[in-house]
Amino acid sequence: MNENEEDFVMAFQDSCDRPTLLLIHGFPLSSQMWTPQLEDLGEYVRVIAPDLRGFGQSDSVPGPYTIAQLADDCADLLGHLNVASPFVVCGLSMGGYIALEFYRRYPELVAGLILVSTRAGADSEEAKANRDKSAELAKNEGATAVSAQMLPKMMAPEFYESDEELVEFVEEIMSAASLNGVVGALAAMRDRIDSTPTLDDIAAPVLIIHGADDQLIPPSEAELMYKAIPDADLVIIPDAGHLPNLEQPDIFNDAVIDFLEELFGEDDEDE
């Protein structure tokens, strides 16, 4: 699907052969951010968590990237694995942008969407300029310079100040991002389209999850999506920032399990 480019090797984690949940990580993270979900949700669904190009164990492919390209990468992976459709697509932050694009491109494959810590709107001119500044910082000082700037804002302040183990875990994941991945993804996010006009066209059920203390994307963005999408539920998780799946994994997983049971039925876990 991705024309005029060399093939690359995409790493991923895969749990079992039940109805499938695709987990798309945020920036500048990897599939490792979904560790609590890979451990706990496998009783209910097959969980596949890819490393996007340039992140985790996937190849460091030169950019720039596009959100459409990253969505196609995910579709190609699931096609390669012969995953039965429809399946659930979940994305956090940048992964949410990809999930929305995935639905626009492959609506027939999607049984439901889970949008976490994300927004529908495109970048403002100021935000685009900041993406470019971050890309220059990465080129001049290395990819970890961008991660270092972001790390204090990735979690609720109380977690950043008190949970040293979680901070170190997130920092370790972010430090593995390649320069190509960081610069390429920044371009993809900068140039993404505004998804707001197409929200009312989403026919699949949608679960929106957001941390009450998100410092990067305010909960008001989640509320805007909730009001615009015809069949949507909204869960605001208290005492959580931009990574509610890591900060409050039990609450996050319970919300996802409830959503999956509504979609696939409670009996799937006993098959």
Has residue 4 been placed in a domain?
no
pLDDT in tens, 37-72: 999 998 889 999 999 999 999 999 998 999 999 999
Asked whether residue 41 is assigned to any structural domain, the reply reads yes
Residue 189 falls inside a structural domain? yes
Q: Is there a domain that residue 2 lies in?
A: no
Alpha carbon 199 to its chain centroid, in Å, reads 18
Residue 223 falls inside a structural domain: yes
At 16 the pLDDT is 57
List of the chain residues with pLDDT < 50: 1-4, 267-271
Q: What digits encode the pLDDT tens for the residues 121-142?
A: 999 999 999 999 999 999 999 9
Containing domain of residue 158, as a range?
A: 12-270
Distance CA 162, CA 148 (A): 18
* Inside any domain, residue 265: yes
- pLDDT score at 270: 41
Q: Give the predicted TM-score (pTM) of the model.
A: 0.92
The pLDDT score that the predictor gives to residue 6 is 60
CATH code, domain carrying 222:
3.40.50.1820
The answer to whether residue 3 is domain-embedded is no
The closest of 57, 65, 59, 69 to 32, measured between CA atoms, is 57
- Determine the pLDDT at residue 10: 79
pLDDT of residue 266: 59
Q: Name every residue whose Cβ is closer than 8 Å to that of residue 136 and which is 6 or more positions away in sequence.
A: none
Total number of domains constituting the chain: 1
Let me know if residue 195 belongs to a domain: yes
- The confidence score (pLDDT) of residue 13 equals 64
pLDDT at 7: 72
Those residues with Cβ within 8 angstroms of residue 90's Cβ, 6 or more apart along the chain or in another chain: 21, 22, 23, 24, 99, 113, 114, 115, 116, 256
